[in-house]
Structure 1
Amino acid sequence: MRKANKRITDFTLLVELLNRCHVGRLGTVGRDGWPMVKPLNFAWYEGRIYFHCALEGEKLDEIRHEERVCFEADLPIAYVKGAPENPCRAEYLYRSVIIRGRARLVTEPAEKVLALDALMKKYEPGVPFAPYREEKLAITGIVRIDVEEMVGKEELGKGELREKALALLAGGGSLPVVLE
């Protein structure tokens, strides 16, 4: 990373970011050599990224072709308006994480259930759900990304602006906001 002062080195912050972000982006390379980025829902569980998908399709075709993938998630915090006389003073405050790893289709039913439980807890917290029926497990694809490298980056501004950004993050409210 070019600017070391923007790097997030606190692993706890990276995990918090992954748990807070609702959309991640999977980067793959297809047989035609073209990169592809796909937004998806995901869960971080025991040091891995999990997502569900169909058992056939572009994502799995690309993963079967090349298991090395990139995964990105970002949390927009605030847009800071520039002054009318100097619009270049506008800023975008955020935290992000980029993961490089290897993606694999999960076939073990017990691991599929763990992944689905993690997804349900993230996207439907506090909602009880019944055990997954075997026939549904059989037709649901679960992909696991085994993390090999994880790098976080943030832009929180300076001084008073940084304090506002940190307060917004701690407040747990709806993000992003617009700051004057």
Structure 2
Amino acid sequence: MHPTRCMANSGGNMRHSERELRDRETITALLEKSFVGRIATVNQRGVPVIKPVHFVYWDRKVYIHSSPTGEKVRDIRRGSPICFEVDEPIAFVTAGENPCSANTYFRSIIIKGKAGWVRLGTKKLRILERLMEKYQPEKGYGKIAGDVLKKTAIIEIVVEEMTAKERLG
């Protein structure tokens, strides 16, 4: 799969193809503005695990700030397949007479790819700076120290497949 294109319907499996979101600018904007992403891995018992994470989308990759230990780190080191998701709830549509007509308008993106580690100090520093710019745009924080770089893991997800959809009405 070519990671520079949105593969919104790779393989023809999207049940509601009319909800496919193809506009690259809209997709990129959602990835850039979402404050919480979710990474899914498969643990050593074969059980899917999903964790909310802070992240940045940069250079067509997802970068996640993490502790160097923990379940998701162990899963990734073991070679677990990964999936990453963001969504944007837009509106809740209340039901009338038929309670099954209640609905939600939304946009969502699911990424499948390979997870690895950013080890190069200069790249790691740049990603941590981007994270700070995203989560604290008003600035006011100190310089990122070398010991912080050593204690922090940065997970890099290379996008292999991206599914984006929206329901707006």
What TM-score does the superposition give when structure 1 sets the normalisation length?
A: 0.82
Indicate if the aligned counterparts of 1:44 and 1:118 stay in contact, CA closer than 8 A.
Answer: no
CA shift at 1:128, angstroms?
4.4
Which of 115, 120, 126 aligns to 1:103? It is 115
Q: Verify the 8 A CA contact 1:97 1:153 in the aligned structure 2.
A: yes
Report the CA distance between 1:129 and its aligned residue: 3.6
Deviations 1:110-129 (A, max 9, x none): 11112111211111113144
Letter in 2 for 1:97: I
Q: 2:125 aligns with which of 97, 113, 116?
A: 113
In 1, distance between residues paired with 2:146 and 2:115?
24
**139-148 or 129-138, which deviates more:** 129-138
Tell me the residue number matched to 1:27. 40
The root-mean-square deviation of aligned C-alpha atoms, in Å, is 1.2
Q: What is residue 53 of structure 2 aligned with on the other side?
A: 40
Q: Secondary structure at the match of 1:8?
A: coil
Which residues of structure 1 form unaligned runs of 5+? 158-180
Partner of 2:25: 12
2:42–2:80 Cα contact (<8 Å) kept: no
Supply the distance in 2 between the matched residues of 1:59 and 1:122 (Cα, whole angstroms): 23
Distance 2:167 2:127 in 1: 31
Task: Give the count of matched residue pairs.
Answer: 156
3-state SS of paired residue (2:106) = strand
3-state SS of 1:61 partner: helix
Deviations 1:34-78 (A, max 9, x none): 111111111101111111111111111000112531000000111
* Superposed counterparts of 1:53-132, under 5 Å: 53-83=66-96, 85-132=97-144
Check the 8 A contact 1:30/1:66 in 2, yes or no.
no
Q: 3-state DSSP class of the match of 2:108?
A: strand
The structure where helix makes up a greater share of residues is 1
Report sequence identity in percent: 39
Q: 2:38·2:84 contact (CA, 8 Å) conserved in 1?
A: yes
**What is the CA distance between 1:130 and its match in structure 2?**
3.2
Aligned to 2:10: none
Task: Deviation per CA, 1:66-125: give whole Å up to 9, x if none.
Answer: 253100000011101111x22222110100000011111211111111211121111111
Tell whether 2:63 aligns with 1:50: yes
What SS does structure 2 have at the residue aligned with 1:82?
coil
Tell me the secondary structure at the aligned position of residue 69 of structure 2.
Answer: coil
8 A contact 1:67–1:104 mirrored in 2: no
Q: Shift in Å at residue 12 of structure 1?
A: 1.1
Q: 2:143 aligns to what SS in structure 1?
A: coil
User: In 1, distance between residues paired with 2:80 and 2:144?
Assistant: 28
Q: Secondary structure at the match of 2:25?
A: helix
Which AA in structure 1 matches 2:105? L
